[in-house]
Amino acid sequence: MEKIVSLCKRRGFIFQSSEIYGGLNGAWDYGPLGVELKRNLKNYWWRVMVHERDDIVGMDGSILMNRAVWKASGHEDTFTDPMVECDVCKRRYRNDQIPALTPFRTLAHILFSDRDGNVREECATVGGESPKDVRRKARVQSEYFNLGWKFESVDLEPGHTNDPARCCPHCGGEISEPRSFNLMFKTYVGATEDESAVTYLRPETAQSIFVQFKNILEVSRKKLPFGIAQIGKAFRNEINPRNFTFRSREFEQMELEYFCRAEQGIELLEYWKEERVKFYENIGIAREKLHARNVPDEERAFYSKGTYDIEYDFPFGRQELEGVAYRTDYDLSQHQKASGKSLEYFDEETKQRFVPHVVEPSAGVDRSVLALICEAYSEDEAPDEKGKLETRIVLRFHPRMAPIKCAIFPLLKNKEPLVAKAKEIVGLLRPHMNIFYDESGAIGRRYRRQDEIGTPFGVTVDFETLGEKDAALRDTVTLRERDSMKQERVAIQELPAILRERIT
Ligand code: ATP
């Protein structure tokens, strides 16, 4: 992960938000390459979910909505995570991030003088997976040092215990009882900051789909089953953002609400499993690193009749990319009840009126981008200018996802005809794809720079292109493929068609 995070920064995929001010925990900025990768992902999702289907339409809802939406959906009362706090260092954790049993605990006797110079004794329990007393001692000292205390001595009294009390992973301190913490960001609409002006930044895009269900049904004139798709920002005040962009406080979701009859729900839940796994394969994620995990009854929302997560083997463990839930008619019924407006569907054949059920595949843009980068990262060996093997960092993106599709190099930058020809090719390809022109440095170095950002193709304009060596090769170039490093000779005129076929 460290190598990936540093590559992301070095080459302009992802930066810390507000970095020059020390950053903001849980917020990230996508740089010039990151934004291309993210757009390619979102465009491909939109293409397969909306453009290539007759049964799904799109929408783009607002982030701020009437507070009543969040009351009716249940978010205001129940969109919470149980949170615990360390009594010593005051760090906060999500309850499920603290291991249930700490097999080893140590009693620390600390003699210190406080700010007034009085010598006092304090006892603290420190715990962890193994008796690494020295490290713990240092932690205890640093925590108390922060309070302005001067240490006289610290004695540790090691001992095993079966006491299932849980300890802070950072300092070993006691952990509080869990309490509920609402994950929605609260804000005020308008000039007065009172209760009547409260609303929230949306924690998911789905609710705007539910509340616009009737409008969209009317204008699109779709018959069940049909879906409404949306890509957009969501905000959650996560207790402990971590694993780079994996758990952020501001992120994007790609959500589909697929409406159906009650009797179709379970079957459609299964149908979307295959579709969604295929999607991840088609953007270049290996099948064997993808897993559909059935969410057991006790973890599932009470209204859901079946949920599974699509997980990916990240370098930090197997984690969720997407959740697919059969939400029954819960959401539409809640909004119908709270708003007093009918959200029913009228079946013209059977003349029945009913509230449709829904299956929701809900994917994270940022998590998928991170998975793409993790999956693509690799190191191999390639010859340098003198033919000596050196380590090469390659992002093996699927050409469909790669931020830059093709790089164009004149062999030498001080030979005008080579440069002119290369620029002509730039003009030829630019309307079709994102390309990059580079004339600086040795050609091997230029290839290496592109390998590192995952550009799948490289075109070199050389003296053969000018027809200087062999008239038959005039107006041909070498086309180099990133992964195999194989080079083929192709006619310039054929480049757009050849490349377009490989990148779509
Ligand atoms: P988790 O259990 O990891 O908190 P969740 O089950 O709460 O996720 P959902 O509410 O199902 O997530 O949201 C759907 C998708 O939105 C997730 O699969 C994930 O890809 C994305 N997502 C949710 N929370 C975050 C977050 N804090 N940062 C980045 N992506 C997120």
Cβ-contact 239, 26 below 8 angstroms = no
pLDDT in tens, the chain (504 residues): 999 999 999 999 999 999 999 999 999 999 999 999 999 999 999 999 999 999 999 999 999 999 999 999 999 998 988 888 888 778 888 888 776 544 455 666 677 777 777 887 766 665 554 445 545 555 666 666 666 666 666 666 655 444 555 677 777 677 888 888 899 999 999 999 999 999 999 999 999 999 999 999 999 999 999 999 999 999 999 988 989 999 999 999 999 999 999 999 999 999 999 999 999 999 999 999 999 999 999 889 899 999 999 999 999 999 999 999 999 999 999 999 999 999 999 999 999 999 999 999 999 999 999 999 999 999 988 887 788 888 899 999 999 999 999 999 999 999 999 999 999 999 999 999 999 999 999 998 999 999 999 999 999 999 999 998 899 999 999 999 999 999 999 999 999 999 999 999
> Which amino acid type is present at position 241?
P
Whether ligand 1 lies within 6 angstroms of the CB of 238 is answered as yes
Q: What's the burial of 305, exposed, middle or buried (CB within 10 Å: 0-12/13-18/19+)?
A: middle
CA of 253 to the centre of ligand 1 (A): 8
CA of 501 to the centre of ligand 1 (A): 34
Helix, coil or strand: residue 102: coil
Cβ count near 77 (within 10 Å) = 11
Residue 474 is classified by DSSP as T
Strand partners, 311: 291, 320
Tell me which residue has tokens 């952990």.
175
CA of 366 to the centre of ligand 1 (A): 10
CA 284/CA 193 separation, integer angstroms: 48
Whether ligand 1 lies within 6 angstroms of the CB of 363 is answered as yes
Closest C-alpha to ligand 1, atom 19? 364
CA 242/CA 251 separation, integer angstroms: 13
Q: What's the burial of 177, exposed, middle or buried (CB within 10 Å: 0-12/13-18/19+)?
A: exposed
Q: Which of these, 504, 415, 394, lies nearest to 458 by C-alpha position?
A: 394
Closest C-alpha to ligand 1, atom 30? 364
Q: Record the pTM.
A: 0.86
Of ligand 1's atoms, which has the minimum distance to the CA of residue 322?
18
| Alpha helix ranges (H) inside 307-388 | 330-339, 365-376
Q: Residue 411's pLDDT is what?
A: 95
Closest C-alpha to ligand 1, atom 4? 247
Strand partners, 200: 186
CA of 465 to the centre of ligand 1 (A): 51
CA of 441 to the centre of ligand 1 (A): 44
CA 309/CA 382 separation, integer angstroms: 39
Tell me which residue has tokens 């569907």.
345
Closest C-alpha to ligand 1, atom 7? 323
Residue 410: cis peptide before it, omega within 30 degrees of 0: no
Of ligand 1's atoms, which has the minimum distance to the CA of residue 247?
28
Those residues whose C-beta lies under 8 Å from the C-beta of residue 107, and which sit 6 or more positions away, are: 123, 124, 125, 156, 157, 159
Whether ligand 1 lies within 6 angstroms of the CB of 307 is answered as no
What's the Cα-to-Cα distance from 450 to each of 196, 322, 406, 409, 454, rounded to whole Å?
A: 54, 30, 9, 11, 6
For 113-138, b/e burial (b = at least 16 CB within 10 A) is: eeeeeeeeeeebbbbbeebebeebbe
Q: Residue 137's pLDDT is what?
A: 57
Whether ligand 1 lies within 6 angstroms of the CB of 418 is answered as no
Q: Is the dihedral of CA 343, 231, 190, 76 positive or negative?
A: positive
Whether ligand 1 lies within 6 angstroms of the CB of 360 is answered as no
Of ligand 1's atoms, which has the minimum distance to the CA of residue 241?
27
Q: Which of these, 331, 304, 340, lies nearest to 70 by C-alpha position?
A: 331
SS (H, E, C) 174-225: EECCCEEEECCCEEECCCCCCHHHEEEECCCCHHHHHHCHHHHHHHHCCCCC
Cβ-contact 235, 202 below 8 angstroms = yes
CA 405/CA 386 separation, integer angstroms: 28
CA of 365 to the centre of ligand 1 (A): 10
Whether ligand 1 lies within 6 angstroms of the CB of 364 is answered as yes
Residue 66 CA to chain centroid, in angstroms? Answer: 27
Closest C-alpha to ligand 1, atom 12? 323
